[in-house]
Amino acid sequence: MAGLSLDLLALQIFTGLALGAVYVLLAIGMSLIFGMLTVVNFAHGAFFALGAYAGFLVLTLGGNFWLALLAVPIVTGLLGMAVEWGLVRHLYGRGIDDPLLLTFGLAYVLVELIRIFAGTQGLPFDTPDALAGAVDIGIGYFPLYRLFVIAMTVAILVLLWLFLERTRLGLIIRAGARDPEIMRVLGVDTGRVWRLVFGLGTAIAGLAGLLAAPLQGVSPEMGNAILADAFVVTVVGGMGSLAGAILAGLLVGVIVSLTALFAPEAGDVAIFVLMAVVLLIRPQGFFGRAGLMS
Amino acid sequence: MSAAFLTRAAGHRALLAALFLLVLPFLLPFRATAVNVLIDGLFAVGFNLVYGYVGLLSFGHAALFGGGAYATGLALLRLGLPWYGALVLGLVAGAAIAGIIGVLAIRTRGIYFAMVTLALAECVYYLAYQASGVTGGENGLRGIVLTKIDLFGLTLDFVDPLTRYFVIAAIVALALAALSRLLASPFGAVMEMVRENEARARASGVDVRAVKMLAFVLSGAFSGLAGGLQALHLAIVPIETLDYSTSGMVVMMCLLGGRGTFFGPFIGALVFLLLQNLVALISSHWQLPVGLVFMACVLFFPRGLWGQVTRWRPA
């Protein structure tokens, strides 16, 4: 292959990082929720789709992409908090499968609601004008929007890190993940903290959906396919580990992108092979603690 | 009903099931639904074996059911096997795929199991999608024709809906009898022991991983058989058979009816399909009410319909 230069390879890796950024956001929200509430949110993919459609709604109502960037996490975050308050919290202490089953049913309902209000067909989602086109990043021309997705993800991660490590509320969240019992004894309303964390996770999921929309368009089922990918990322990275979600998300993105270049027919299967290998060698994932899930 | 009667009836649950299957098509408002209740009921019963009895929540059963459907379809189409041979191949395929998925998924524990089985089933879906030369890819496996069933010198007309129903009912009843025998065996007790207290089971000398593995493979066999029957019934295997939605459907059926009960999953399949058919008369958006009913079931009736009923019976 004469056309295969180092630059092309680097560009493809960069493309993979942009794709991986979306995985990172999804997996980090899921990990956050699991780490705190020990709830596997099967509706995470539905919130991802909801975020994309909420952004679409903002655009059709005359708003612009920047407004959507602000509105979408607020909407999906509030909805997430409402879901935690109205549904999930009633299942705490009832065994780990029940919240999972409930959010699975919720995903069913949310996706069907999207179909009812927005139609069953997928819709195109235009790249915002200011982010259209490509820029020279030294190794070749790279779509500006994908750079923006990477930058946004980095910004969100930095903000999340600052929030968790440098604020009082972040301290409470981290302590609550370790020992909710003691937090209650110290007078912290853990129920409110958990609601906030659930909302934070779904807000990030909605934002991920919005960021992914110009890359792939929107469809009611867009969350179903990516849910499986997000699970792969979580299993590879280690459930409940934020560092694991970042590393595994980027790795999965790059692998998808590179197999698309070298072996397109294996593109969909490659990440599952990765997961299988990780399961055989290190069942708890890169950063997972052994025995955490027992 | 007296307790003694119910206890005695429980001893003949496979027989009761057979009687129920005998009258089912005449009870339903939609005759065509009856066959689907049989097939999905068997699938849900197979799923219940791992979820209800061992406590492993699998979100990847589409791969076992779909694998069985494709194997049976391909056996008839390409290998020219007789119908019973094709069904056996479907059963074996379901068990074999369960073996592969199980080896990987059973390494993980607890909540990981649902995620890993879902992801691996998705992988099977993509593989079938890509291998369009064998599986028909996006279009599904088409052209499975079975008009006559030869059985002990008898030739039955498989096109006639009622005959077809009773042929499938007979196979499902046999499978239920086998399952009933299995659950009554020491292995059945060990499965429930693993569900109730894994650590204690291990301490009592039970090889927990082997029990889970065997249960998952057996579940794959039942699911694969159900898939094979579906292939014979529909004369096509749509690619959606391997879809995430199939895995989700069987989870819903099992929960609605009652996890860990013998008849529950079958009742769940019946209720699910009736609900689906009734709503479909009014609107194409049947997933909304079905999803809501399921959520209500998880919140308020975690035992499921049949689980509630058996709980009320006098002790």
Helix or strand holding residue A293 (H, E)? none
Q: Give the closest of A96, A98, A235 to B302, CB-based.
A: A98
CA-based torsion, B216, B221, B224, B229: positive or negative: negative
Quick one: pLDDT at residue B87? 95
DSSP A287: S
Which fold would CATH assign to domain B3-312? ABC transporter involved in vitamin B12 uptake, BtuC (1.10.3470)
Share of chain B above pLDDT 70, in %: 93
Q: How far is the C-alpha of B5 from the C-alpha of B135, rounded, in Å? A: 50
Distance CA A99, CA A220 (A): 23
Tens of pLDDT along B161-209?
888 888 899 899 899 989 989 999 999 999 999 999 988 999 999 999 9
What is the distance in angstroms between the Cα of B146 and the nearest Cα belonging to chain A? 34
- Give DSSP secondary structure letters for B19-69: HHHHHHHHHSSSHHHHHHHHHHHHHHHHHHIIIIII----S-HHHHHHHHH
Q: Other C-beta atoms within 10 Å of A32: how many?
A: 23
- What's the average model confidence in pLDDT over B87-116? 91
What is chain A's length? 294
Q: Write out pLDDT tens, residues A155-174.
A: 999 999 999 999 999 998 88
Mean pLDDT of B99-105: 94
DSSP string, chain B: --HHHHHHHHHTHHHHHHHHHHHHHHHSSSHHHHHHHHHHHHHHHHHHIIIIII----S-HHHHHHHHHHHHHHIIIII---HHHHHHHHHHHHHHHHHHHHHHHTTS-TTHHHHHHHHHHHHHHHHHHH-HHHH-GGG-B------EEEETTEEEETTSHHHHHHHHHHHHHHHHHHHHHHHHSHHHHHHHHHHH-HHHHHHTT--HHHHHHHHHHHHHHHHHHHHHHHHHHHSSB-GGGGSHHHHHHHHHHHHHH-TT-SSHHHHHHHHHHHHHHHHHHH-S-THHHHHHHHHHHHHH-TTHHHHHHHHHS--
- Could you tell me whether strands A141-143 and B148-151 are parallel, antiparallel, or unpaired per DSSP bridges? unpaired
Query: Distances in Å between the alpha carbon of B207 and those of B55, B191, B193, B213?
Result: 16, 11, 12, 10
* Residue A290: predicted pLDDT: 54
Comparing C-alpha atoms, which of B260, B257, B254 is closest to residue B306?
B257
- Binned at pLDDT 50, 70 and 90, residue B307 comes out as confident
Average the pLDDT over A176-190 and give the result: 85
Residue A2 has pLDDT above 60, yes or no: no
* Mean pLDDT within B254-275: 91
A135 vs chain B: nearest CA distance in angstroms?
34
Q: What pLDDT does residue B224 have?
A: 97
Q: Looking at CA atoms only, how far is residue A33 from chain B in angstroms? A: 13
Question: Residue B118 is nearest to which of A94, A105, A228, comparing CB atoms?
Answer: A228
Contacts of B255 in chain A (CB under 8 A): 101
- Pick the most confident of B89-98, B116-125, B188-197, B202-211: B89-98
Looking at residue B93, its pLDDT comes to: 97
The answer to whether the Cβ–Cβ distance between A268 and B130 falls below 8 Å is: yes
Q: Give CA–CA dist B222/B97, Å, rounded.
A: 12
Kindly determine whether residue B119 and residue A268, on different chains, have CB atoms separated by under 8 Å.
Answer: no
B119 closest CB neighbour out of A115, A232, A294: A232
Q: How many percent of chain A have pLDDT more than 90?
A: 52
- Could you say which of B59, B123, B291 has the minimum Cβ distance to residue A272? B123
3 state SS for B165-185: HHHHHHHHHHHHHHHHHHHHC
Q: Which residues in A lie closer than 8 A to residue B295 (C-beta atoms)?
A: 87, 102, 105-106, 109
**For residue A267, pLDDT beyond 80:** no
Question: For residue A86, is pLDDT > 80?
Answer: yes
Report pLDDT digits (tens) over A200-238.
999 999 999 999 999 988 999 999 889 989 989 988 998
The closest of A247, A175, A214, A178 to A20, measured between CA atoms, is A247
State whether A105 and B288 contact (CB < 8 Å): no
Q: Which of A114, A94, A92, A86 is nearest to A33 (CA)?
A: A92
Whether residue B61 has pLDDT greater than 70: yes
pLDDT above 80 for B150: no
The sign of the CA dihedral A160, A166, A167, A170 is positive
DSSP state of A289: P
Give the one of B110, B251, B295 whose C-beta lies nearest to A293's C-beta.
B110
Residues of A near B (CB-CB distance < 8 A)?
Answer: 34, 38, 40, 87, 90-91, 94, 96-98, 100-102, 104-106, 108-109, 111-113, 115-116, 224-225, 227-228, 231-232, 234-235, 239, 265, 268-269, 272, 275-276, 279-280, 283, 293-294
Least reliable range by pLDDT among A58-62, B29-33, B308-312? B29-33
Report how far residue B194's alpha carbon sits from residue B192's, in angstroms, rounded to the nearest whole number.
5
pLDDT of A34 > 60? The answer is yes
Nearest CA in chain A to B124: A269
Q: Which residues of chain B make contact with A294, given a CB cutoff of 8 A?
A: 109-110, 198
Q: Which of A38, A90, A280 sits opposite B299 (nearest CB)?
A: A90
The complex scores an ipTM of 0.89
Q: What is the mean pLDDT of chain B?
A: 88
Q: What is the pLDDT of residue B8?
A: 57
By the 10 Å C-beta count (0-12 exposed, 13-18 middle, 19+ buried), A70 is classed as exposed
Res A61: pLDDT: 92
**Count of CB atoms situated within 10 Å of the CB of B132:** 12
Phi, psi for residue B154 in degrees, rounded to 5: -90, 145
The verdict on a CB contact (< 8 Å) between B126 and A265 is: no
Q: Report, as an integer, the average pLDDT of A180-195.
A: 88
Looking at the complex, report in whole angstroms how far the Cα of residue B130 sits from the nearest Cα belonging to chain A: 7
Amino acid A209: pLDDT: 96
Q: How far is B211 from chain A (nearest CA, A)?
A: 17
Give the gap in angstroms from C-alpha B104 to the nearest C-alpha of chain A: 6
With beta carbons under 8 A apart, name residues in chain A contacting B110.
96, 293-294
Taking CA–CA distances from B108, the nearest residue in chain A reads A283
What's the confidence (pLDDT) of residue A289? 63
Contacts of B127 in chain A (CB under 8 A): 269
- CB hemisphere CA count around B32 (13 angstroms): 4
| pLDDT at res. A294 | 37
Residues B47-60 have pLDDT tens digits of 999 999 999 999 99
Say whether pLDDT at A143 is over 80: yes
Interface A-B: count of C-beta contacts within 8 A: 118
Eight-state DSSP code of residue A291: T
Residues of B in contact with A46 (CB under 8 A): none
Tell me what pLDDT residue A281 has: 86
User: Is the pLDDT confidence value at B111 over 80?
Assistant: no
